[in-house]
Structure 1
């Protein structure tokens, strides 16, 4: 049975949920650009919602959001912020079919083991409605490894990501851009931003 998560990484977020929630950055430039692609009131699944800042922003804009996180402790942090239940959902547990206009997965799929990412992307493709949009971000690199906090990262190249997405399903568009940012470990990293649209 596939699990599509790393136990040590999940344990980090379970043990540091409050500190991570306090640190989390609330920048919505990319999120706003994503939301502009969706119809008013669109159904959105957020994977890895963390402390719930992005879900709160989407809900405030009138979208029908399903916030989820793989860590019960992080889900609890988000629930406190949002004033509503937040589900604990691991990526490999996603089994919805054509339910969402958008899937938002900021800074979470980067923890999926490399040999499991393709299967997770296929599940997300299936969960999207035809023409639906999907955003995810990754820390770029040349292969899997751990940061100084022992969190696992798949550290993909752009070419490797394009292959995995191509195997997951048919997309009408696939765009990747990059920038530099600093994470919770205070280490600068190249962030790869992937925005795709499911073929209609």
Structure 2
């Protein structure tokens, strides 16, 4: 498995796209914390946009949003919802320098292999403008593995995740923890990361 793709995980989301996107709701509280740190009308890249509900909310607030997803079926569902093209973008293909004021990656980087995650985070950091804001969420754990649907998860601890973000190029990296759930209906411990790039 490389940073480009995991066929089993992408395959799951392709097959389950309709069911998955029909139950999605905006990540309201954490999305509010993210957007309040952005400049008015700022440019945002959303990774793993799923049904497009978070992009839709940010567009309604006046932000210049580029939604993307690594699964073609998910991207198509989001495009129907948003009425605009949605790019099929794998994390390993993120490229560019100081293009975005914010990168929103809700519940998607959890599928990046641990060995590849620091490199993906570095790509995102490079794509952010100075003072740019980066949000991501992960299912917490102690060892990488697959769930009952065959999806790969990196299952990091807060300490491991802090190391993956590194200590260079960020003004701060805030890691919060909360109990929640997931598609499988099981209780889940989550880690929420809000990082701000250096000025």
State if a TM-score over 0.5 links the two structures: yes
Instruction: Give the distance between the partners of 1:141 and 1:60, measured in 2 at CA.
Output: 35
Structure 2 residue aligned with 1:50: 50
TM-score (norm 1): 0.97
Q: What's the secondary structure of 2:161's corresponding residue?
A: helix
Q: Contact 2:26/2:57 (CA < 8 Å) preserved in 1? A: no
Structure 1 residue aligned with 2:169: 170
Structure 1 residue aligned with 2:110: 110
Aligned-residue offset at 1:3: 3.2
Aligned-residue offset at 1:2: 4.2
1:71-110 maps to which residues of 2 (within 5 A)?
A: 71-110=71-110
Aligned-residue offset at 1:27: 3.5
Q: Contact 1:44/1:104 (CA < 8 Å) preserved in 2? A: yes
Instruction: Give the distance between the partners of 2:133 and 2:40, measured in 1 at CA.
Output: 14
Instruction: Give the distance between the partners of 1:195 and 1:57, measured in 2 at CA.
Output: 19
- Identify unmatched segments of 5+ residues in structure 1: none
Structure 2 residue aligned with 1:188: 187
Deviations 1:142-165 (A, max 9, x none): 010111111110000011111110
Instruction: Give the distance between the partners of 1:186 and 1:28, measured in 2 at CA.
Output: 20
Runs of 4 or more consecutive aligned structure 1 residues displaced over 6 Å after TM superposition: none
Aligned-residue offset at 1:28: 0.9
TM-score (norm 2): 0.97
Instruction: Give the distance between the partners of 1:49 and 1:25, measured in 2 at CA.
Output: 11
- Identify unmatched segments of 5+ residues in structure 2: none
Count residues with an aligned counterpart. 199
1:22-41 maps to which residues of 2 (within 5 A)?
A: 22-41=22-41
Deviations 1:64-86 (A, max 9, x none): 00000000000000000000000
Structure 1 residue aligned with 2:122: 122
Instruction: Give the distance between the partners of 1:194 and 1:181, measured in 2 at CA.
Output: 15
Structure 2 residue aligned with 1:18: 18
